[in-house]
Amino acid sequence: MEYDCRKQAPSIMSSERPTRPRRIHLRPSEQRGLLLLGDSIVALLALYGALYYWSVKDPQFSFSLAFLQQRVPAWFYFFPVGWLVMMVDLYDLRRAANWRDTLRGVAVAALLGLAVYAVIYLISPKGSLPRQGVGAFLILVSTMTLAWRLLYIRFYTDPAFMRRILIVGAGAQGQTLVGAYKSIWPPPFSLVGLIDDDPVKVGTLVEGYPILGGSPLILDVVERESITDMIVAIQGEIYGGTFQILLDAQERGLDILRMPPVYEELLGRIPIKHLEADWIIRSFVDEARTRGLYEIVKRLLDILGALVGISILALFLPLIALAILLGSGWPIFYSQVRLGRGAHPHRIYKFRTMRNDAESDGLARPAARNDPRITGVGNFLRKTRLDELPQFINVLRGEMSLVGPRSERPELVKHYEKQVPFYRSRLLVKPGMTGWAQVNFGYAATVEDTVTKLEYDLYYIKHRSVALDVLIMLRTIGTVFRFRGR
């Protein structure tokens, strides 16, 4: 006989139990804040050290106010900001918790800073730039950042500081959450197990994690396993007895979380397979009324960015045009009809990166990884995102934005909206030259890949802000310099 979770829980619900003392357990947003604070302090200390070293080597000055005012150019004091910008990829918590990714990220940031300075040095008058100060800053900030990040990794992975999680619900939502948890390394928290009221499931495993019992045992498990957070992964109604137990747990100092926000926090994606029918109304349409100021600021940034981008286009146009002509002949540009906000069609322009017979059969198909239709020059243009420079014209016209979901062809939109739930909702905002999906995911070669990219797109639409737009643009710049475009 199945257990009815509407029954009142036994004496385990007694309120005589004392509230459990809370330990330090940082949530993802708090971890990012800690990383930013630590990196900022390190960068400022490195700036101080570089200035002191520079002053010691200067025969005319010692480390004094006169040295800072007369010898140090104003732009030198912005080095810490530049360093934080180049470290942007390492605010992804999965990368930040991995020593190899951290070492690689710091090395790339230092080399990129050195390369930018070298270019400026070559075109500047002799003796006008402080080589010793710049060199000292890069060496100090790199070594000190590595030391601080190593401390963070040890702190982050120490079991004493990790949250201990219990998932309530071992159905589709719970299983999806366990799968998401297992896909992340190092793990963001310690998953103890699951709770489910189906007696058939009790004692079984979900991808190696045990189902420990039904909801009446929640408080026992909380005390025995030192649980700090519970994630409710129940789709549908939560009955009174279970709800009361969750309230009791919360009164004892636990954080009670829902599965969709946790999934978003872990992966930066929306779990579209576990959303209710009115979710799009609650998440997008109702929130749109409060975004008037954001839309104005976003448009101003688009205009400014488009003007800068068109200037870059004019600079690179002769070289790119010549490379395409020598590599595969005419035409230089490639145009295509795409759907924008509200499904309004517009024509985009790109530098041609595929053979002229790429779609000789007339069928629309998305680009795939290692696509044989891409030319040699086209491969370089895609990796550096230079092929998309002409789209700055679309941005200036207002048909596109700098940041947003990728604009898609009408044929593919019609195809995917029949197979992927909520697919058309990506047309609620302007398409972008870059976006959250582009910097987090590669090609969508299958319907399942398209689902994943849509989850990233919907995350952006739901959480869009000036700060998120700036973050995406900075990560896109990193993609260009690292030749990660596709």
SS3 of the chain: the string is CCCCCCCCCCHHHCCCCCCCCCCCCCCHHHHHHHHHHHHHHHHHHHHHHHHHHHHHHCCCCCCCHHHHHHCCCHHHHHHHHHHHHHCHHHHCHHHHCCHHHHHHHHHHHHHHHHHHHHHHHHHCCCCCCCHHHHHHHHHHHHHHHHHHHHHHHHHHHCHHHCCEEEEECCCHHHHHHHHHHHCCCCCCCEEEEEECCCCCCCCCEECCEEECCCHHHHHHHHHHHCCCEEEECCCCCCCHHHHHHHHHHHHCCCEEEEHHHHHHHHHCCCCHHHCCCCHHHHHHHCHHHHCHHHHHHHHHHHHHHHHHHHHHHHHHHHHHHHHHHHHHCCCCEEEEEEECHHHCEEEEEEECCECCCCCCCCCCCCCCCCCCCECHHHHHHHHCCHHHHHHHHHHHHCCCEEECCCCECHHHHHHHCCCCCCHHHHHHCCCEEECHHHHHCCCCCCHHHHHHHHHHHHHHHHHCCHHHHHHHHHHHHHHHHCCCCC
Given this model, what pLDDT does residue 3 score? Answer: 37
Residues 105 and 203 in one domain: no
Given this model, what pLDDT does residue 297 score? Answer: 92
**Interatomic CA distance for residues 178 and 170, integer angstroms:** 9
Given this model, what pLDDT does residue 24 score? Answer: 59
- Picking from 123, 141, 157, the residue at the C-terminal end of a domain is 157
Question: If you average pLDDT over residues 418-433, what whole number do you get?
Answer: 90
Question: If you average pLDDT over residues 151-174, what whole number do you get?
Answer: 88
Query: In sequence order, what are the beta bridge partners of 354?
Result: 374
Question: If you average pLDDT over residues 92-109, what whole number do you get?
Answer: 88
Q: For residue 188, give the amino acid letter.
A: P
Full-model pTM: 0.80
Whether 475 is covered by a domain: the verdict is yes
pLDDT surpasses 60 at 424: yes
φ, ψ for residue 190 (rounded to 5)?
-100, 115
Given this model, what pLDDT does residue 21 score? Answer: 44
Given this model, what pLDDT does residue 108 score? Answer: 87
**Interatomic CA distance for residues 365 and 340, integer angstroms:** 18
pLDDT in tens, 51-88: 998 888 777 777 888 888 888 888 889 999 989 988 88
Residues 416 and 363 in one domain: yes
Question: If you average pLDDT over residues 94-112, what whole number do you get?
Answer: 89
Given this model, what pLDDT does residue 15 score? Answer: 39
Whether 34 is covered by a domain: the verdict is yes
**Interatomic CA distance for residues 393 and 348, integer angstroms:** 9
Given this model, what pLDDT does residue 47 score? Answer: 94
**What distance lies between CA 308 and its chain's CA centroid?**
25
Given this model, what pLDDT does residue 391 score? Answer: 95
Given this model, what pLDDT does residue 478 score? Answer: 74
Residue with tokens 């924008």: 340
Given this model, what pLDDT does residue 80 score? Answer: 93
Q: How many other CB atoms sit within 10 Å of the CB of residue 121?
A: 14
Closest CA relative to residue 32, chosen from 91, 102, 96, 94: 91
pLDDT surpasses 70 at 37: yes
- Picking from 118, 137, 157, the residue at the C-terminal end of a domain is 157
Residues 247 and 129 in one domain: no
CA dihedral 353, 392, 435, 116 (to 10 degrees): 90
Whether 278 is covered by a domain: the verdict is no
Residues 190 and 134 in one domain: no
Given this model, what pLDDT does residue 483 score? Answer: 57
Confidence of residue 410 (pLDDT cuts 50, 70, 90): very high
**Average pLDDT, whole number, for the chain?**
84
Q: Which domain holds residue 88?
A: 28-157
Name which residue leads in pLDDT, 462 or 125.
462
Contact 360, 368 (CB under 8 A): no
Residues 227 and 96 in one domain: no
Contact 174, 167 (CB under 8 A): yes
Residues 409 and 436 in one domain: yes
pLDDT surpasses 90 at 484: no
C-alpha torsion sign, points 268, 108, 49, 146: positive
Given this model, what pLDDT does residue 114 score? Answer: 86
pLDDT in tens, 199-256: 999 999 999 999 999 999 999 999 999 999 999 999 777 877 888 999 999 998 889 9
Tokens of 293: 């100021």
Residues 81 and 132 in one domain: yes
Whether 180 is covered by a domain: the verdict is yes
pLDDT surpasses 60 at 141: yes
First to last CA, the chain: 55
Number of domains in the chain: 3
Question: If you average pLDDT over residues 124-134, what whole number do you get?
Answer: 74
Given this model, what pLDDT does residue 454 score? Answer: 93
pLDDT surpasses 70 at 45: yes
Q: How far are the Cα atoms of 205, 209, 332, 349, 431 from residue 201, in angstroms, in the given order?
A: 8, 12, 61, 55, 45
Tokens of 125: 């008058």
- Picking from 116, 132, 157, the residue at the C-terminal end of a domain is 157
Tokens of 133: 């100060």
Q: How far are the Cα atoms of 76, 325, 485 from residue 333, in angstroms, in the given order?
A: 41, 11, 19
Whether 6 is covered by a domain: the verdict is no
Q: How many other CB atoms sit within 10 Å of the CB of residue 456?
A: 21
Closest CA relative to residue 283, chosen from 428, 167, 383: 428
Question: If you average pLDDT over residues 103-129, what whole number do you get?
Answer: 80
Question: If you average pLDDT over residues 404-427, what whole number do you get?
Answer: 90
Strands 255-258 and 229-232: parallel
Contact 254, 228 (CB under 8 A): yes
Q: How many other CB atoms sit within 10 Å of the CB of residue 329?
A: 11
Question: If you average pLDDT over residues 379-388, what whole number do you get?
Answer: 87
pLDDT surpasses 50 at 12: no
Closest CA relative to residue 255, chosen from 11, 6, 27: 27
Residues 355 and 468 in one domain: yes
Given this model, what pLDDT does residue 41 score? Answer: 97
Closest CA relative to residue 445, chosen from 404, 482, 486, 389: 486
Name which residue leads in pLDDT, 49 or 129.
49
The winner for highest mean pLDDT among 33-47, 148-162, 226-240, 330-344 is 33-47
pLDDT surpasses 90 at 281: no
Residues 300 and 440 in one domain: yes
pLDDT surpasses 50 at 5: no
Name which residue leads in pLDDT, 361 or 378.
378
Whether 1 is covered by a domain: the verdict is no
Given this model, what pLDDT does residue 282 score? Answer: 63
Q: For residue 204, give the amino acid letter.
A: T
Whether 279 is covered by a domain: the verdict is no
Question: If you average pLDDT over residues 318-331, what whole number do you get?
Answer: 89
Residues 303 and 448 in one domain: yes
Least confident piece of the model among 151-160, 220-229, 343-352:
151-160
Whether 4 is covered by a domain: the verdict is no
**Interatomic CA distance for residues 305 and 313, integer angstroms:** 12
